[in-house]
Amino acid sequence: MVPITTTHYLVVAAALFVLGVIGVLTRRNVVVVLMSIELILNAVNLNLVAFSRMWGNLHGQVFSIFVTVDAVAEAAVGLGIVIAFFRNKETVNVDEIDLLKW
């Protein structure tokens, strides 16, 4: 059996990243779009930790913690915007959020 190398982890992370991109580009519900962004950030974290293992130091793991902090901040502000928008417009579909489009 082939031993698991860094490239294996990179392929898994690429698959998760592309799934997140598909979700962002195609779904209409803005909550699912935010969840897809979480998928993307998780793929980035997996890459960082795999490279940290490859080089034998911990810089990648520390950086993945910073990415997690970023994801938390993004989720909090994004969901706040969703609630504020739903209160005004009664919808959470991204293609109906077009106030700034002319």
Residues 47-66 that bind another protein (CB under 8 A): 49-50, 52-59, 61-62, 64-66
Minimum gap (Å) between residue 100 Cβ and another protein: 17
98 binds another protein (CB under 8 A): no
Give the number of other CB atoms < 10 A from CB of residue 100: 5
3-state secondary structure of 98: coil
CA distance 73 to 55: 29
Minimum gap (Å) between residue 99 Cβ and another protein: 16
Residues 7-36 that bind another protein (CB under 8 A): 7-12, 14-23, 25-29, 31-32, 34-36
What radius of gyration do the chain's Cα atoms show? Answer: 17
